[in-house]
Amino acid sequence: MRDLIHDVLSQRFGPAWTDDPNVGLGRDWSDRLAETARHEAGAQRERIIYEIPLACAEFRDLLSLLEKHSRLFEPVSPDWPALTVYMHDAERLRNTVKHHRDITDAQASLLHGISGQIEDWIALWRVGSPMRAIESAAQFVAEVALTGVEQPAALNLLATEAQGWKEDFLRATDADAANPRSVELTESATASLPASVKLRFASKVRKRRTPIRTSATLTTTVITLQITVKSGSKLTLSDLVAKLGKPYWHIKYSLEQPLNLVALQGWARDQAGLDPSGSVTANGQHGSVDFRLLGGRLSVSAGLQRSARDPDRRLGTLSLTAVRQDLEFWQADRFLGPRTLVGFMVGSIAPRAIMHLVNLACMPPTRVSYSTTAE
- Residues 180, 117 within the same domain: no
41-45, 74-78, 214-218, 235-239: which range is least confident on average?
214-218
Domain that holds residue 94: 2-127
The predicted pLDDT at position 13 comes to 93
Structurally, the chain folds into a number of domains equal to 2
Sorting pLDDT into bands at 50, 70 and 90, what band is 368? Answer: very low
Q: Please report whether residue 261 resides in a domain.
A: yes
Which residues make Cβ contacts (< 8 Å) with residue 298, sequence separation at least 6? Answer: 292, 320, 321, 322, 323, 327, 358
**Domain C-terminal end among 84, 106, 127:** 127
- Global pTM reads 0.74
Residue type, position 303, single letter: G
Sorting pLDDT into bands at 50, 70 and 90, what band is 317? Answer: very high
The tens digit of pLDDT for each residue in 42-64 reads 555 544 445 678 888 888 999 99
Q: How far is C-alpha 4 from the chain's CA centre?
A: 19
103-112, 204-213, 344-353: which range is least confident on average?
204-213
**Domain C-terminal end among 108, 127, 146:** 127
- Residues 166, 96 within the same domain: no
Residue type, position 219, single letter: T
Q: For 207-231, what is the mean pLDDT? A: 58
DSSP characters over 123-170: HHHHHS----EEEEEEEEEEEEE-TT--HHHHHHHHHHHHHHHHHHHH
**Domain C-terminal end among 76, 97, 127:** 127
Better-predicted residue by pLDDT, 102 or 234 = 102
* Long-range contact pairs involving 88-94 (C-beta distance under 8 Å, separation at least 24): 88/63, 89/114, 90/59, 90/114, 90/115, 91/59, 91/60, 91/63, 94/59
- Residues 123, 227 within the same domain: no
- Residues 170, 316 within the same domain: yes
- Residues 238, 324 within the same domain: yes
Sorting pLDDT into bands at 50, 70 and 90, what band is 332? Answer: very high
- Residues 221, 91 within the same domain: no
pLDDT at 271 over 80: no
- Residues 59, 112 within the same domain: yes
- Residues 43, 160 within the same domain: no
The predicted pLDDT at position 282 comes to 55
Question: What is d(CA 145, CA 38) in angstroms, rounded to the nearest whole number?
Answer: 58
- Residues 172, 290 within the same domain: yes
- Residues 77, 198 within the same domain: no
Q: Please report whether residue 374 resides in a domain.
A: no
The predicted pLDDT at position 176 comes to 46
